[in-house]
Amino acid sequence: MKIKSINLFVVAFSMVWCFSVTGQQLPEKVSMTKAALKDKIKGGWAGQTIGCTFGGPTEFKFKGTMIQQYQPMVWYDDYIKETYVFDPGLYDDVYLDFTFVEVLERVGLDAPADSFAVSFARDDYKLWHANQAARYNILNGIMPPASGFWMNNPHADDIDFQIEADFAGMMSPGMINTSSEICDRTGHIMNYGDGWYGGVFMAAMYATAFVSNDIDFIVTQGLKPIPEQSKFYQAIQDVIAWHIQYPNDWKQCWFEFEKKHTSEKGCPEGVFNAFNIDASVNAAYVVIGLLYGQSDFYKTMDISTRCGQDSDCNPATAAGILGVMLGYDNIPDFWKPAIEKVESLKFPYSELTLNQVYDLSYKHAVQLINQQGGEIMDDMITINVQKPEKLRFEQSFEGIFPTRELLVRTDHLDNNIVIDFNGTGIVVLGNVKSVCSIAKSDYVAQLEVYIDGVKTAQFPMPYDYIVRKYDIYHNYQIPKGNHHLEVKWVNQNPDFRIYFRSFVVYDNEPAKSIDPEIK
């Protein structure tokens, strides 16, 4: 793809391109026109929406394997508009960003975490994994940061905040520490540790993409806030190194990453499964797309998608970051009819349109630029470019290792769920199911959990999909040894069942192979 000739309104921005391309540090100040800033913000939101739609059909259909080149990708001018109608839940990447933008506009740029959390939890859109676990926590009195903390949220390292931190970067042009602070308030609603770092990293790349057109620099600069001892940092740093080693072979980079970094400890659905929604794994696929895409819009999306796993979220992020760097005007015309057909429509699960979000993000960006010592004079904006500051170290599931999973897949009514296990932790997977076509959606099962005969927990488990409890029960702080667990359903209803899917057992040391020759 050839980038169009640079419009006059970005001429003042060319100085920073020279700095970043040569590998030098960015200048302390960067100036651009208001039109240039608006164009980049629009490019970010449009890129994210295009990328999400582009990768939608393959989402989690290729787990632990890449999507081969002979598999075609679908695109046509009405594609986004049709997806709005027939698969609106696909856009959880974007409509959660919209929620945070709306809160900032309503409450102010200093809106506290609780304001974001309450709005997020009470909205009626579909959520999964860390987001849904956090929603349940918040609705039941566990507020952030506890709602995203790994002992309260088995999905703390999942991708959730990583796919919804775009807004923080797009309102913080060149201000990487400002984007990190916004991520601190919002990202701990649903994530912790690597799950939080994923969002910080993506927002930092967005912020840097406003002031550099060097993808390698954007990636390395975005990683600087992340502590080096974290698994997340090490995973992305390895991708950068493999890109240098194999500059023309993204598949070799992908293979090297799979061998070293795809072991799952957190998400109980993925621990003993090819399914991997881990933030660091999917962030690596974003970075592979960015580095090997060589600033080509289609190539970047295509590679991020073909890496597999969460293959709608990853091209959405990659295309969003590239959209900021290029600006909307330089996104190839082939992709624009699809986005332009929906810009004035209410976005799925939102009262806002893309056109309104373009304007709100620009408004918030200008406010932050001014707040952080920048200048707005006539048609020009000058940004105080921030040097990245290192964040505190967080690590989820430290000293905890999955040792076994038992698939059960049974409905329970008259009998309690009974599990005998040996370990230091357990996650019981399942949900409330209806066996009656006219069942009331407001039914809430009441459960009690006993470990070794001692009542350790009681909690509601709603049938309603929007406010459901994502996992039946989890506990990572059980004394090491043999244990007997019972889950009692105290308000049984013949119209419903507790579907007991499986359970995952954890210990304080890795499981030993039954083959003594395998270490």
33-64 pLDDT tens trace:
999 999 999 999 999 999 999 999 999 999 99
Amino acid letter at 183?
Answer: C
* 315 & 462 share domain: no
Q: Domain boundary residue among 328, 355, 384?
A: 384
Mean pLDDT of the chain: 93
* Residue 1 placed within a domain: no
* Average pLDDT of span 82-100: 95
* 340 & 422 share domain: no
The total domain count for the chain is: 2
* Average pLDDT of span 152-170: 98
Q: Give 86: exposed, middle or buried? Use CB within 10 Å, 0-12, 13-18, 19+.
A: exposed
* 330 & 456 share domain: no
Which of these, 510, 47, 19, lies nearest to 318 by C-alpha position?
Answer: 47
Q: 181: domain CATH number?
A: 1.10.4080.10
* Residue 470 placed within a domain: yes
* 116 & 189 share domain: yes
The side-by-side arrangement of strands in the sheet containing 444-451 is 417-423, 481-489, 444-451, 454-462
Q: 502: domain CATH number?
A: 2.60.120.230
pTM: predicted TM-score of the whole model, two decimal places: 0.94
Return the pLDDT at 63: 96
* Residue 390 placed within a domain: no
- Distance between CA atoms of residues 444 and 488, nearest Å: 14
* 446 & 418 share domain: yes
* Average pLDDT of span 110-137: 97
* 424 & 318 share domain: no
- Domain encompassing residue 204: 8-384
* 371 & 450 share domain: no
Structure confidence by residue, pLDDT tens digits, 98-108 = 999 999 999 99
C-beta atoms surrounding 336 within 10 Å: 15
* 205 & 310 share domain: yes
* 168 & 100 share domain: yes
